[in-house]
Amino acid sequence: MAPQKMKKDSGILLQLGHTTPRQRGFQVYDGNLEKFPYPFKNNEVHLINAPHIIEHINYKIIWKFFDECWRILKASGQLAVSCPYAGSSAFFSDPTHCTAFSEKSFAYLDPDYAPYQIYKPKPWRIEKGNPVWHTEGNLECLLMPRK
């Protein structure tokens, strides 16, 4: 997700995973993203950029991943995710992709949508105009924690 679309404010700017190019001013956390908790305090991070990370998180713990991001984000923070669209050749071409997302997947995180009631992870708000699907097969979504 383009950094100019994301909020800039005080607090840690965190990039999950080792991706290139690195965003200027972002701290990179390249630890095991399936092992919780992450080495950050509650409400310490202002922005999490997670480019092409969530499709690599095991589907059995995907809600724990979002809950951990919720824990470390400030109430005014944002989580920017991007991933290949479920069913696209971009998703199926990488054998390490294990969790598929469509634009409807993010409704499971937002209490304003009926699917949230199924798993009830920590509550998020899907930013207006999101998720965004791109013709090359990528999906982007900007989320804010509801705290």
- pLDDT digits over 60-118, tens only? 999 999 999 999 999 999 999 999 999 999 999 999 999 999 999 999 999 999 999 99
Is the model's pLDDT at 6 over the cut of 70? no
Residue 93 belongs to what H/E stretch? helix 89-93
Q: From 101, 75, 72, 71, select the one nearest 87 (Cα to Cα).
A: 101
pLDDT at 4: 47
Residue 88 carries which side chain, given as an amino acid letter?
S
Residue appearing with tokens 């390490």: 96
Tell me the pTM. Answer: 0.91
- pLDDT band at 135, cuts 50/70/90? confident
Q: What domains appear along the chain, each with residue ranges and CATH number?
A: 3-145 (3.40.50.150)
- Omega before 131 cis (within 30°)? yes
Whether 97 contacts 91, CB under 8 Å: yes
- pLDDT digits over 14-31, tens only? 999 977 677 889 999 999
- pLDDT band at 3, cuts 50/70/90? very low
